Chain A
Amino acid sequence: MLQPVSVGLKLGFLIVLYLFLVWVAASTLFDLRRGLRGGGGSTVPVGEATSIHQTVDPMALLGDEEFEPRLVVEHASGHEPGVAYDLMEPVTLGRGDVELKLEDPFASTRHASITRHGRTLVLEDLGSTNGTYLNGEPVSGPQPLHVGDRIRIGDSEFTYLQ
């Protein structure tokens, strides 16, 4: 007696489900076509399969949260431990005439640079003789910095904070 109602409800369930799925899929496609943009307009880096090596967003502006990127001296000859250097402007580290001067025999004249791209700071080795170490690993190519990262050049060591 109730059989037709039951079959109708079952088909209704399936129809609603599929309409919902088609709707979501269509909206997702629309979302993709909008030039791979998110709600805010951060562009998705293209070119690499996983796109993780390009986390720099040059459009990024500074926001309401406190953002003070700085390099804290752990130990470096000629610098007081605990002193923090501001990184809002690009900084070059080295033995020569640069923003952050290192009195370190193992440092090259222009050893490494830290540049700000929006809220991301990028460490790059400038072809130094003895290398720059990020958390104990030699740096090759630009590396985004994260809070607490340890940067070592020769015998000088710094911690990145923001």
Chain B
Amino acid sequence: MRARNWELISLVPAALLVSAGFAAVYIQRANQLETVSLIYGAVFLGLCLGAHIFIRVTLPHADPFIFPLVAVLACYGLVMIYRIDGATEARVQAQWFVIGLLLFAATIVWFRDYRRLENYRYLIMTGSVVLLLLPRVPGLGVYSGGAYLAIHLPGITFQPPEFAKVGVVIFLSSYLRDHRQALASGRRILGYRIPPLKHLGPLLALWGAAMLALVVIGDIGSSLMFYGALLAIVYVATDRISFVIFGMLAFGLGSWFLATHIPHIDARIQDWLHPFNPALYSAPLGSYQLANAQFAMAAGGLFGQGFGQTLLYIPGTTNALIPFPSTDMIFSVITGDLGLFGAAGLLVTYLLFISRGFKAAMLARDSFSKLLAVGLSTVIAVQVFVIVGGVARVIPFTGVPLPFVAYGGSSILANFVLVALLLLISDRARRPLSDA
């Protein structure tokens, strides 16, 4: 039980973070906010405690670090969203956390033996592909910023790729569990083992699918997310770095070809390379958002300007200086408010979370669990890289949600399912053998 007590104590920092963050925001903007919204912070902490008790009962041996790290990330998100739009978005976000934690509990109960998921792998894969294609259905999809990433139903906007990423990882883990041996074998040609074509075929098909996703969805970020998970699982399954190198070359070539042939991807790259070019800055859907995010982050300095100090609107008007501050651009607002230290702290939290995921993979006793844990951790890692790299202009910008932090229901729900699976894997892996 030592591990579970550790988990309980680690919720104290999360409580302190939420209290300090909410108090700071409240002081800054007391005239615009009602005290009622402070209750959401308290409710969130109560929920974390409830989730902890639930884990204590159902998964007594699970990794004790994973849940507190997720709680800190969620606190970060809740404080920032409260600071950006305390009136409505913070309330909606808090509601999504409630639903997310319920789904988290449901996943743990339903998939107690998550290896059952393997029986449904083709169904899961088909479902994921359908989810990915839904945004292209006329009248249902939302076209924003050159990409089809969301669908609109009466009342809610829904982001299918977030759920699809969990499904794709489950499928890949199960599929490669069965085929890894064949992929690792093969004839040696020029010092490299070339797998038999019939086994390489499905991998080439997956590469093609990632490229197709790029064209159909129009989004490098999401396809990079799926592709990164694919390469990580293939690497762990076959233990051959050459697959990763060839895979990255293939993805690079494919993206380069598409970038030079598809106008809106090329426009994204121009925005990335020259955000301060006046023509691009003033163009509709140009580099306005990205350029202003650079200024916001620069203004943050080492320790930040303080909660609520980053300018989101042009003073005296309601015109956005940084469009989408709570979704696409939340990382730039965090950096502006809390500076380099705040942003680095957030990234270290992600790093530790991902390292705990890999640790669960190392301890897991069967191949499917290993591959699944690696895939789920990698998908989060690549997602953070894609959005933070995009905001910080390391790579062209694409709007994927910052996991657990950015505003948005589907992202929270899907990521809680992901965390539930990681905890299930880790519980099975760390269970003492005598009562296994």
* A interface residues (Cβ-Cβ under 8 A, vs B): 2, 5-7, 9-14, 16-21, 23-25, 27-28, 31, 36, 38-42, 44, 48-53, 55, 57, 59-61, 63-64, 118-120, 134-135, 137, 139-140, 143-144, 146
Question: Among the interface residues B17, B235, B371, which one has the most CB atoms of the partner chain A within 10 A?
Answer: B17
Q: Which of B23, B72, B178, B368 contacts A17 (CB 8 A)?
A: B72
Tell me the smallest distance from the CB of A40 to a CB of chain B, in Å.
Answer: 4
B20 within 8 A of A: yes
The answer to whether B433 touches A55, judged by C-beta atoms less than 8 angstroms apart, is no
Within 8 Å of chain A (Cβ to Cβ): is B117?
no
B236 located at the interface, meaning its Cβ lies under 8 Å from any Cβ of chain A in the complex: yes
> Within 8 Å CB of A14, what residues of B?
303, 338, 341-342, 345
Interfacial chain A residues near B16, Cβ < 8 Å: 12, 16
Distance in angstroms from A125 CB to nearest chain B CB is 12
Candidates A13, A38, A60, A120; contact of B338 at CB < 8 Å: A13
Which B residues are in CB contact (< 8 Å) with A143?
181
**Total cross-chain contacts (CB, 8 A):** 155
Distance between Cα atoms of A36 and B429 in the complex (Å): 13
Interface of chain B residues 17 through 74 with chain A (CB within 8 A): 17, 20-21, 23-24, 27-28, 61, 65, 68-69, 72
Contacting pair A17 B17 (CB below 8 A): yes
Q: Please choose the segment from B214-222, B245-253, B358-366, B401-409 that sits at the chain A interface, where 4 or more of its residues have CB less than 8 A away.
A: B358-366
Most buried by B among A6, A49, A51: A6
Q: Nearest Cβ in chain A — how far from B197, in angstroms?
A: 14
B356 interface residue per 8 A CB criterion:
yes
19 pairs of residues in contact across A and B, judged by CB atoms under 8 Å:
A9-B27, A13-B21, A14-B303, A14-B342, A16-B13, A17-B345, A17-B349, A18-B341, A21-B345, A21-B349, A39-B431, A49-B239, A52-B239, A55-B366, A57-B365, A120-B365, A134-B181, A135-B178, A146-B178
Q: Select which of B185, B367, B433 is within 8 A of A59 by beta carbon.
A: B433
The CB with the most chain B CB atoms within 10 A, among A7, A12, A20, A146, is that of A20
Q: Which 4 A-B pairs have the closest CB atoms?
A: A39-B430, A40-B432, A9-B24, A20-B13
User: Do the beta carbons of B10 and A146 come within 8 Å of each other?
Assistant: no
Would you give the shortest CB distance from B235 to chain A, in whole angstroms?
Answer: 7
Q: Which of the residues A17, A24, A118, A140 comes within 8 Å of B65, measured between beta carbons? A: A24
Q: Which residues of B contact A19 (CB under 8 A)?
A: 13
Instruction: Check: B3 CB closer than 8 A to any chain A CB.
Output: yes
Q: Do residues A16 and B17 form an inter-chain contact, with CB atoms below 8 A?
A: yes
Residues of B within 8 A of A (CB): 3, 6, 10, 13-14, 16-17, 20-21, 23-24, 27-28, 61, 65, 68-69, 72, 177-182, 185, 235-237, 239, 303-304, 306-307, 337-338, 341-342, 345, 348-349, 352, 355-356, 359, 362-363, 365-368, 370-371, 429-436
CB-CB under 8 A from A12, the residues of chain B are 16, 20
Instruction: Tell me, in angstroms, the Cα distance from A120 to B436 when the chains sit together.
Output: 13
**Given the complex of chains A and B, what is the CA–CA distance between A60 and B432 in angstroms?**
9
Contact indicator B436/A6 (Cβ below 8 Å): no
State the main secondary structure of chain B at its contact with A: helix
Q: Is B69 a contact of A24 with CB atoms below 8 Å?
A: yes
Q: Which residues of the partner chain B approach A17 to less than 8 Å between Cβ atoms?
A: 13, 17, 72, 342, 345, 349
Give CA–CA (A17, B348) in the complex, Å: 10
CB atoms of B433 and A5 under 8 A apart: no
Given contacts A6-B307, A24-B10, contact A42 B433 (CB under 8 A): yes
Task: Check if B61 sits within 8 Å of A24, measured CB to CB.
Answer: no
Complex contact A28–B181 (CB within 8 A): no
Contact indicator B306/A55 (Cβ below 8 Å): no
Q: For B355, list chain A residues within 8 Å (CB).
A: 28
Residues of A within 8 Å of B28, CB to CB, are: 2, 6
* Docked pose: A2 CA to B368 CA in angstroms: 55
Known: A21-B352, A42-B365, A55-B370. A61 touches B185 (CB 8 A): no
Whether B237 contacts A52 by the Cβ 8 Å rule is yes
* Across-interface contacts of B3 in A (CB, < 8 A): 39
Task: Given contacts A13-B21, A20-B10, list 19 more A-B pairs with CB under 8 A.
Answer: A6-B306, A9-B20, A13-B338, A17-B13, A17-B17, A19-B13, A20-B17, A28-B356, A38-B363, A50-B236, A53-B239, A61-B434, A63-B434, A63-B435, A63-B436, A64-B435, A139-B181, A146-B177, A146-B178
